[in-house]
Structure 1
Amino acid sequence: MMTLYDPEAAFIAKDGRTVTDRTEIAAELERDISLGLPLEAKARHVFIAGDIAQIVLD
């Protein structure tokens, strides 16, 4: 999953914190994936600026 994240990406944790540390982002993603549940996301918004996109998912 980390290959999808830019090295300077930010991740919004479930508790609302903005996470920028790649190790912590990986830990958040690993925790979710380790549940073994199917992942489903719907794109709510896509913001584009130059060659960077931010996707807001539900």
Structure 2
Amino acid sequence: MTKEDPEIQILLDQAEELLSSLLRGDTMLADATCSEILMTRKTAIEKKKHELALT
């Protein structure tokens, strides 16, 4: 799926970066849960699910 949609790969890379920041203690969990990265990722996943449902 990431080869077909480079936007998804970018979102995954950003999510990985966020997770690393959490594990290092640079970001608080409360901040991470409402981060733009996760909101954008959720929207992209919902969009992809909708696209796949139409096929």
TM over 0.5: no
Name the one with the larger strand percent: 1
| Max Rg structure | 2
Q: Which protein, 1 or 2, shows the higher relative CO under an 8 Å CA cutoff with sep ≥ 6?
A: 2
Name the one with the larger helix percent: 2
